[in-house]
Amino acid sequence: MSIFTKSILSAVLAVAFVGTAVSQEFSQDAKESYSLGASLGNYLSSQAYKQSELGVPVNMDQVMEGLTDALKNKSKLTEEEIIAALNTRAEKLNKLHEARVKQVKEKNKAESEAYLAKNKARKGVKQLESGLQYEELQAGTGAAPKEEDIVTMDYVGKLVDGTPFTNSEGKTVEEKDVVMTLIPGFKEGLYQMKEGGKAIFVIPASLAYGEEGAGPVPPESALIFEVTLKKVEKPGANKSADGQLPAGHPKVEGNRPKMAWPHG
């Protein structure tokens, strides 16, 4: 743990102790004013910690001095000097952040490619022209999904190191998804299936969330999905008499269904 982190921890503990002792004595105005300061402090400590982790140290004594001076409408630096200093710091942080992101991408790409190469050789795995790897666990006998169809399915999504990032199990309402909204690799996997089937898709990053990643999926990550295709429905097939879709059907915002994993 860095000295900076220890300083922040000490400050937080001190504030918590003092707050416990005096909070009951605060008037409403005092609580609101104090909360403004606490909110600002939380933001500053979060930013300072992130910058420190990137390798750009933060002198908290100087931060507090600058904050106090600004509140008193005075400054030891000119506005031009402050802007120049902040721009210099931003350039350092951006370069370090870009270097770290590049390192993460290269690591994930290498691990994903190694997994795909090894998995391709496994018995029962079929690699399609796109690079998607498909393994049938149980053949389906029902309808085959098309792009405009609505599918009900169970799925578990994992990274190549086994870390889970999404799971449809445990939901009180069955999830229904419009095929066209799914990421390319997942769609292509579904096109190999029929209703009632079960399969594993290993999806290259280029057919998933690519160089940028998304949410819990890091950049350049291949994804593993175990999927059970429970039902295939045509759009509007299950509308009630009043024209409403039942619970669980994907909601539509404008002309596009509402997104959720594993959507694009």
CATH number at residue 205: 3.10.50.40
3-state secondary structure of 48: helix
Please give the helix or strand (H or E) that residue 162 lies within, else none. Answer: none
Mean pLDDT of 91-101: 94
pLDDT at 2: 38
pTM: predicted TM-score of the whole model, two decimal places = 0.69
Q: Residue 87: which pLDDT band, with cuts at 50, 70 and 90?
A: very high
Mean pLDDT of 46-74: 92
**Phi-psi group of 130: left, alpha or beta (phi > 0 → left; psi -120 to 50 → alpha; rest → beta):** alpha
**Residue 104 in domain:** no
- The whole domain housing 220 covers 127-233
Q: Are residues 138 and 217 in the same domain?
A: yes
**Residue 137 in domain:** yes
Number of domains in the chain: 2
Please give the helix or strand (H or E) that residue 186 lies within, else none. Answer: helix 184-191
Q: Are residues 62 and 133 in the same domain?
A: no
For residue 71, the domain's CATH number is: 1.10.287.460
Tokens of 174: 């069955």
Q: Residue 176: which pLDDT band, with cuts at 50, 70 and 90?
A: confident
Count of CB atoms situated within 10 Å of the CB of 188: 19
CA dihedral 77, 81, 82, 84 (to 10 degrees): -170
Q: Are residues 35 and 93 in the same domain?
A: yes
Q: Are residues 132 and 81 in the same domain?
A: no
**Residue 264 in domain:** no
Q: Is the pLDDT of residue 67 over 70?
A: yes
Task: Return the closest-CA partner of residue 219 out of 112, 104, 114, 132.
Answer: 104
Mean pLDDT of 216-240: 87
| Mean pLDDT value across the chain | 83
**Residue 242 in domain:** no
List the single range of 2-11, 107-116, 186-195, 202-211 with lowest mean pLDDT.
2-11
pLDDT at 263: 61
Q: Are residues 94 and 143 in the same domain?
A: no
Residue whose tokens read 């509402």? 258
- Bigger pLDDT: 148 or 249? 148
Contact present, 108 and 217 (Cβ < 8 Å): no
Q: Are residues 85 and 169 in the same domain?
A: no
Measured CA to CA, the distance from residue 149 to residue 138 in angstroms comes to: 21
Q: Is the pLDDT of residue 104 over 80?
A: yes
- Bigger pLDDT: 155 or 13? 155
Measured CA to CA, the distance from residue 154 to residue 229 in angstroms comes to: 7
Q: Are residues 94 and 178 in the same domain?
A: no
Q: Are residues 229 and 132 in the same domain?
A: yes
Q: Residue 264: which pLDDT band, with cuts at 50, 70 and 90?
A: low
Task: Return the closest-CA partner of residue 222 out of 101, 96, 132, 129.
Answer: 132
**Residue 181 in domain:** yes
3-state secondary structure of 221: coil
Q: Are residues 133 and 177 in the same domain?
A: yes
Contacts of 21 (CB under 8 A, 6+ apart): none
pLDDT at 169: 76
3-state secondary structure of 231: strand
pLDDT at 190: 96
Q: Are residues 80 and 151 in the same domain?
A: no
**Residue 119 in domain:** no
